[in-house]
Structure 1
Amino acid sequence: MASGSQQGPDYTRLNLLEVEDLAPRFGYGELLAARFPGGALEARETGLSLQHLRPGRKQPYGHRHERAEEIYVVLEGSGRVCLDGEVVELQRFDALRVAPQVARRFEAGPEGMTLLAFGPRRQGDGEVLPDFWP
């Protein structure tokens, strides 16, 4: 269990900033920070990520799911998201629900953008779209 986490009989508490940023490990550190705390939280059915896109940068690729609906919340900054070719502006505290089959890719505005993303945890459900919204 990560340092700074706390566990009780029916809960796990964890500071998300103490979860490893996986973006540098995959060569994306100049674009974003990406933390996936599901394992450290011992989440069985819920997927969660905390992502910070650097100013003016896009996620390295788009994606969609076969069955998993996701919700994104802008915690800081602003930016845009491309949803099946439609570009939607986002600002602080906007919440966005995205149906499974909708392709999506986020881009930060001039001050960057921090997103919290969550949805059902379904192994192998995602499809990576490298050329979506080039």
Structure 2
Amino acid sequence: MADYSVVKVSDVEDQGPNMGHAPGMEIRFLRNDLGCENCGVSYMRLQPNYRQTYGHKHKVQEEIYLLISGSAHLKADDEIVELEPWTAVRTPNDTMRSIEAGPEGAEFVIVGAPNTGPGDGVTEQNWWND
């Protein structure tokens, strides 16, 4: 029998409220429900013009952000990257990053590897300096 796992994203708990980001940010971490061994995968939806209040980086994990709808700006260290649908950005583990949605909001699929689980992230509050 084939070995695979399936999860409906809407069945995975939205962690935005638990992280203090509701209602502006919905984030669903799929790795545990899928049984990921070597990567993590998440779904994130930002309300129009919502800006994450923090920057974050990782001790080990690199991440790929794939914008599937809407528009957004990704701040990577001191540079701003404009994103349109079906644009992917890779951020190495030690690059501080944060996202701001455009006027129509933004939906992302985020993939991180290796699968480090909780405790790998480092955050910096009030990271946007404009």
- TM-score w.r.t. the length of structure 1 is 0.88
Residue 30 of structure 1, CA deviation: 1.9
Give the distance between the partners of 1:43 and 1:20, measured in 2 at CA: 17
Q: Which runs of 4+ in 1 moved over 2 A?
A: none
Q: Provide Cα deviations, 1:77-118, integer angstroms capped at 9, x if missing partner.
A: 001011001111000000111111100000000000001111
AA of the residue aligned to 1:119? G
- Residue aligned with 1:102, SS: coil
Do the aligned partners of 2:53 and 2:127 also contact (CA within 8 Å) in 1? no
- The residue aligned with 2:19 is 26
Residue 31 of structure 1, CA deviation: 1.4
Do the aligned partners of 1:79 and 1:112 also contact (CA within 8 Å) in 2? yes
Do the aligned partners of 2:53 and 2:125 also contact (CA within 8 Å) in 1? yes
Q: Provide Cα deviations, 1:1-26, integer angstroms capped at 9, x if missing partner.
A: xxxxxxx7511011112211111233
- The residue aligned with 2:121 is 126
Residue 27 of structure 1, CA deviation: 2.8
Aligned residue runs from structure 1 range 50-61, under 5 A: 50-61=43-54
- Residue aligned with 2:10, SS: helix
RMSD: 1.4
Structure 1: 5+ residue runs without aligned partners? 1-7
Do the aligned partners of 1:70 and 1:118 also contact (CA within 8 Å) in 2? yes
- The residue aligned with 1:14 is 7
Identity %: 35
Q: Provide Cα deviations, 1:14-66, integer angstroms capped at 9, x if missing partner.
A: 11122111112333112110100111111122111100010001123210012
Aligned residue runs from structure 1 range 57-96, under 5 A: 57-96=50-89
AA of the residue aligned to 1:15? K
Structure 2: 5+ residue runs without aligned partners? none
Do the aligned partners of 1:71 and 1:97 also contact (CA within 8 Å) in 2? yes
Report the more deviating stretch, 21-30 or 100-109. Answer: 21-30
Give the distance between the partners of 2:106 and 2:16, measured in 1 at CA: 15
Do the aligned partners of 2:65 and 2:90 also contact (CA within 8 Å) in 1? yes
Give the distance between the partners of 2:54 and 2:25, measured in 1 at CA: 12
1:35 and 2:28 matched: yes
Aligned residue pair count: 127
- Residue aligned with 1:39, SS: helix
Do the aligned partners of 1:85 and 1:133 also contact (CA within 8 Å) in 2? no
